Amino acid sequence: MQHDAHAHHEHGTDSTHAGPDSHEGHKGHEGHEGHQEQHGGRHEGHGGHHGKASWSMAAKATLHCLTGCAIGEVLGMIIGTALGWGNMETMILAIILAFFFGYALTLRGILAAGVDFKTAFKVALAADTLSIAVMEIIDNGVIALWPGAMDAHLSDPVFWIVLAIALAAAFVITVPVNKWMIGRGKGHAVVHRYHH
């Protein structure tokens, strides 16, 4: 009985001895909760890049948009020229197609992650709208203001030179926009949630 009590006491001591350990464990648990909160906060932000958007991440997101814009614009110019449309109609078509292909590239990646179309479409809109809009304003602004660029045909070297300069300018100006958005958990940060 005495032995039992002693054993019980020892066991109690053990648990008391484990107390600091278990207290440490508890602290660890608190730390884990803190880590979870931190991780949760990060996950919510970008799928983790909340406040930590790197320039390379922003550049990659911008390049993604730029690809869609370039495809759409060139295709718009080809179609507009082939149909004998004026500059304004051709530019409007090019902008519409730039948005279409920009969204399409993002959609393809999200749908590949097994997301339903409705959700994927909403994500693509949230991720790319501002980025493509800024890019199109800069890109078309350069083309519109460049002397002779609007009247250049696809066979004219000036058309391709000005388009390359316009797209490069759009890229440089849109990268900081994407960096700011990703840092706030918006833009392509939304897309990354579906890739992890």
Which tokens sit at 37? 């909160």
Cβ contact 128:101 at 8 Å: no
> Quick one: pLDDT at residue 132?
92
Cα–Cα distance measured from residue 107 to residue 118, given in angstroms and rounded to the nearest whole number: 10
Cα–Cα distance measured from residue 133 to residue 150, given in angstroms and rounded to the nearest whole number: 20
Cα–Cα distance measured from residue 128 to residue 103, given in angstroms and rounded to the nearest whole number: 7
Coil, helix or strand at residue 51: coil
Report for 40-49, 68-77, 146-155: range of highest mean pLDDT: 68-77
pLDDT tens per residue, range 142-161: 999 999 888 888 888 998 99
pLDDT tens per residue, range 87-141: 899 999 999 999 999 999 888 888 887 888 888 888 888 888 988 999 999 999 9
In the chain, the amino acid numbered 151 is: D
Coil, helix or strand at residue 27: helix
pLDDT tens per residue, range 156-168: 899 899 999 999 9
Length of the chain: 196
Cβ contact 179:50 at 8 Å: no
